[in-house]
């Protein structure tokens, strides 16, 4: 299927069998024997550097030792006490730049303990058993509103519910999960894992999710503050930065986050249109995910265009190498100058850049044109709702464990400053929940 203005963007570039192979699980799960062998490589370090490198501070040597001694469900509890979305984080975390980069085995041998895959083995074991290892505390009599059913909101809601507080989550979309459901490459989270994890998390009880309830429409921050004892904002970033160049309104130009969300919800990948020549603008994980998936859908050429040197790309080196292995070209030190075409994109004009000593990017005046019938923007997202709260650097300003400028409102995840990682969002949601609980019960000084 195609449109007269965008003849190059069509569905069915690959047969169903090829698509199924292309979108198989990126990392096959470990079986029990493989997990035992992998766990045996851990030194079980005292003051382990991998723990310090983990944003949720999971006791990694302990959970690996529990796997090594045949206790995968105990291992899962160790993980989930710190990171209730440990199953998803095991799949999508850039472990190669976090816990595994800090691993002593990595420093000594260049091959770390496979912490991510071991974490997946443990958390998958407990989910497969249908076990929820946590019980609710006696009711506090308090009610908290959580805005956003993404990683930060879900982590906050679960910890509050576990501590005895009733939670209502207001979610703008018709499904929960946030970026775990709508924004992560399909080959990283297969078999509807994001939804299965939410269903498992909800077994704690005391959490209600109200879908199609976006903040700023029927739901206002003032109303939530009035109706609840506290409010947590985990609403992510709703807007996408504009290209700001000539031709940016032509057909065939799409936000990469929308492209990925459509792909993630598509019942039939063979029916999903993709260009023949795709250019992705940006250098983060979203750019790489969009580029790789374009290639896997059957695009002939896919180029990631990034304005700084390649070693400054936000996407990890592992992700860059993955993209290259799939046939994606990374073109660094270029920025978009103009989009050309009669109604629809036909070419993108890029200007070569230079980076000054103080880190500023500027154009050199030299340009290059690339064939393109589809351009995907992955140049950062923006906060679309502030609700009158203090904002710094385009995000909600917070102090301590997510406290905002309003004494009844906390925030965490992508809508606040910090790394835009699932694991960071989980840590911020969890810590905010603990702080909210302490505040509402009088335990905080």
Per-residue confidence (pLDDT) for residue 378, from 0 to 100: 96
pLDDT greater than 90 at residue 7? no
> What's the CA angle centered on 199, arms 272 and 265, to 5 degrees?
5
Rounded to two decimals, the pTM is 0.95
Does the structure show a pLDDT above 90 at 386?
no
Task: Provide the pLDDT for residue 240.
Answer: 82
pLDDT, tens digit, for every residue of 146-178?
999 999 999 999 999 999 999 999 999 999 999
Query: Which residues of the chain form CATH 3.50.50.60?
Result: 143-238+383-440, 240-377
418 membership: H or E segment, kind and range: none
For position 239, what pLDDT does the model report? 80
- Taking residue 78's Cβ as centre, other Cβ atoms within 10 Å add up to 24
Q: Boundaries of CATH 1.10.1060.10 in the chain?
A: 32-128
| Res. 380: pLDDT tops 70 | yes
Check whether 293 has a pLDDT greater than 70. Answer: yes
pLDDT above 90: residue 385: no
pLDDT tens per residue across span 85-126:
999 999 999 999 999 999 999 999 999 999 999 999 999 999
For the chain, state the CA radius of gyration.
23
Instruction: Give the whole-angstrom CA distance, residue 276 versus residue 190.
Output: 25
Of the pLDDT bands very low, low, confident and very high (cuts 50, 70, 90), residue 444 is low
Average pLDDT over all residues of the chain: 95
Tell me the pLDDT tens digit for each residue of 141-153.
Answer: 999 999 999 999 9
pLDDT at 8: 87
Q: How confident is the model at residue 269 (pLDDT cuts 50, 70, 90)?
A: very high
Query: Which tokens belong to 90?
Result: 């095991």
- Strands of the sheet with 166-170, listed across from one edge: 207-210, 166-170, 143-147, 230-233, 409-411
Class of domain 32-128: mainly alpha
CB-based burial, 281-299: b 16+ in 10 Å, e otherwise = bbbbbbbbbbbbbbbbbbb
Residue 283 clears pLDDT 80, i.e. is over it: yes
Q: Name the range with the highest mean pLDDT among 236-240, 377-381, 435-439.
A: 435-439
- Inter-helix orientation angle 60-68/115-128, to 10°: 60
57 has pLDDT over 60: yes
> Which of 74-78, 218-222, 239-243 reaches the highest mean pLDDT?
74-78
Report the C-alpha gap between 104 and 79 in whole angstroms: 20
Note whether 183 and 260 are within 8 A (CB): yes
CATH number of 240-377: 3.50.50.60
Average pLDDT of the residues in 263-286: 96
The predicted structure's pLDDT at residue 382:
86
Poorest-pLDDT segment among 67-76, 232-241, 360-369: 232-241
Ramachandran area for residue 439 (φ above 0: left; ψ -120 to 50: alpha; else beta): alpha
Q: Which CATH class is domain 143-238+383-440?
A: alpha beta
Residues 6 or more apart whose Cβ sits within 8 Å of residue 284 = 313, 314, 315, 378, 380, 420
pLDDT beyond 80 at 445? no
Q: How far is CA 205 from the centre of its chain?
A: 25
Q: Which tens digit of pLDDT belongs to each residue from 235-245?
A: 988 888 889 99
pLDDT > 90 in the chain, percent: 91
CA-CA-CA-CA torsion sign (227, 232, 234, 235): positive
The whole-number pLDDT of residue 5 equals: 55
């Amino acid at each position: 299927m195609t449109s007269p203005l965008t003849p190059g963007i069509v569905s069915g570039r690959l047969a169903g069998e090829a698509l199924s192979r292309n979108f198989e699980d990126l990392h096959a799960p470990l079986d029990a024997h493989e997990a035992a062998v992998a766990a045996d490589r851990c030194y079980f370090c005292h003051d382990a550097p991998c723990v310090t490198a983990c944003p949720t501070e999971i006791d990694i040597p302990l959970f690996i030792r529990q796997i090594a001694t045949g206790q995968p469900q105990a291992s899962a509890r160790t993980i989930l006490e710190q990171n209730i979305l440990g199953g998803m984080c095991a799949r999508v975390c850039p472990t190669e730049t976090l816990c595994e980069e800090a691993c002593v085995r990595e420093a000594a041998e260049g091959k770390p303990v496979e912490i991510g895959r071991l974490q997946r083995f443990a958390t998958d074991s407990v989910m497969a058993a249908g076990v929820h290892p946590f019980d609710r505390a006696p009711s506090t009599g308090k009610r908290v509103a959580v805005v956003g059913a993404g990683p930060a909101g879900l982590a906050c809601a679960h910890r509050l519910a576990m501590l005895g507080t009733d939670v209502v989550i207001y979610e703008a979309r018709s499904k929960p999960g946030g970026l775990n459901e709508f924004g992560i490459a399909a080959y990283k989270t297969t078999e509807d894992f994001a939804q299965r994890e939410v269903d498992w998390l909800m077994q704690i009880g005391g959490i209600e999710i109200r879908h199609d309830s976006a903040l700023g429409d029927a739901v206002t921050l003032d109303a939530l503050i009035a109706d609840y004892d506290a409010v947590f904002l985990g609403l992510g970033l709703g807007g996408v930065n504009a290209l700001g160049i000539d031709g940016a309104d032509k057909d065939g130009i799409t936000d990469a986050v929308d492209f990925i969300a459509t792909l993630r919800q598509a019942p039939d990948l063979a029916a999903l249109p993709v260009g023949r020549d795709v250019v992705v603008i940006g250098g983060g994980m979203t750019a790489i995910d969009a580029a790789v998936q374009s290639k896997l859908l059957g695009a002939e050429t896919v180029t990631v265009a990034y304005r700084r040197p390649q070693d400054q790309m936000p996407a990890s080196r592992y992700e860059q190498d993955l993209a290259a292995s799939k046939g994606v070209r990374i073109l660094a030190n270029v920025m978009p100058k103009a989009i050309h075409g009669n109604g629809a994109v036909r070419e993108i004009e890029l200007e070569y850049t230079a980076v000054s000593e103080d880190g500023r990017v500027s154009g050199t005046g030299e340009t290059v044109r690339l064939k393109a019938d589809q351009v995907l923007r992955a140049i950062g997202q923006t906060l679309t709702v502030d609700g009158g709260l203090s904002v710094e650097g385009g995000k909600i300003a917070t102090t301590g464990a997510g406290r905002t400028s309003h004494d009844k409102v906390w925030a965490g995840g992508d809508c606040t400053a910090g790394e835009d990682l699932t694991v960071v969002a989980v840590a911020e949601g969890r810590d905010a929940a603990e702080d909210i609980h302490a505040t509402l019960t009088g335990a905080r000084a």
